[in-house]
Each structure stands twice: as C-alpha cells, then as structure tokens.
Amino acid sequence: MMYLMTFEELWSFLKRYFPVFAAANFAQILALGIGIPMMFDSYFDALPVGENLKYSFFSTLGSALIVAHCNLMLVRGYPTWLWISVVIMFLCLLGVLPTIEYRPHKVFYVLGIVFPLLALLLLNSKRHREARNEWVKQRQKRQRISRIIRTQRQKVRR
C-alpha cells in the first residue's frame, strides 16, 4: 500500500495542526449546544416543555451533523465547505445576542456569545489556514496518484 506521508511527517503534522482543529470543532459544537437551546427557550416560550426540548434537541443534532460534515470535507481538502460552518456560527451568534431581553442565565448567555466568537477566531487563525492549505495539497496529491493508477490499469487492460 502506498502512503502519502511517512509516520514522522504525519506525527509532526498532527502536533502542529490538530490542537487548533480540535479546539475549533469543540467550540463549534459547544456554541450549538448552548446557543440553540437558549434560542428555543427564549423565542418559543409558548411551546410546551416537551416539544421545546424535542425541537431544540433535533435542531442541535442536525446542525452539529452539518458542522461535522463540513469539518470532514475540510480535512478531505475542500476548503470552500468552511463557509457553511462560518455562516452557522454567525447565525448562532446573531440568534443568541437578542435573548438578553428574555433574561437568560448570565453564564449561559456569556458562553453562548463566547463560543461562536471563539470558533470564528479559531477558524480564521493562521494555523487553521495553514492546515487547510496542507489538506488541499494532500487532496491534489491523492488525485494525481489516482490518475496515474487509473492510466496504468487502462494500459494493462489493452
């Protein structure tokens, strides 16, 4: 089997880029986990508690799956998927800010503002941008190798 990186290259890559990538993922998930229930609790207070909880849970789960898929596509070398995560974090921030009118718990309100801002900061950090460039290079390398293998298989079949 052909590997694209040696073990030492992989280890140095992970040491350099994994902490910022993991921190961005956790910040995004925590922003959704705090922001969406806060928005449902504030804006849809007329709903019964059971339905509010159900809608809040499934909205959080769905948006977390979307963010996870976007991060997977980032790792696969498609940096344009980053914009979906950025838009979701921006909407989460914009959704949490007006909830101060409904007097939420101060800690949750502050965390609902801090986590989307932290996620946006980490997604825009220099190290995350470097990681995205490296993932694009790895994708191009994979595509080049697959083209070479495909042409060799076609030659063998003839």
10-38: pLDDT as tens digits:
899 999 999 999 999 999 999 999 999 99
| Model pLDDT for residues 34-77, shown as the tens digit of each residue | 999 999 999 998 999 999 999 999 999 999 999 999 999 999 99
CA 78 to CA 72: how far, in whole Å? 9
Question: Between 7-43 and 49-75, two packed helices, what is the crossing angle to 10 degrees?
Answer: 160
Confidence of residue 95 (pLDDT cuts 50, 70, 90): very high
Q: What angle do CA 98, 100, 105 make, to 5 degrees?
A: 135
CA 123 to CA 24: how far, in whole Å? 6
Residues 6+ apart with CB under 8 A from 46: none
* Residue 1 predicted with pLDDT over 70: no
Answer whether 63's CB lies under 8 Å from 124's CB. Answer: no
CA 2 to CA 148: how far, in whole Å? 13
Q: What is the pTM of this model?
A: 0.90
* Residue 85 predicted with pLDDT over 50: yes
Answer whether 32's CB lies under 8 Å from 92's CB. Answer: yes
Task: At 19, list the tokens.
Answer: 């902490």
Confidence of residue 2 (pLDDT cuts 50, 70, 90): low
* Residue 158 predicted with pLDDT over 80: no
* Residue 86 predicted with pLDDT over 90: yes
Place of tokens 């290259």: 9
Please tell me the predicted confidence (pLDDT) of residue 77.
Answer: 94
Mean pLDDT estimate for the chain? 94
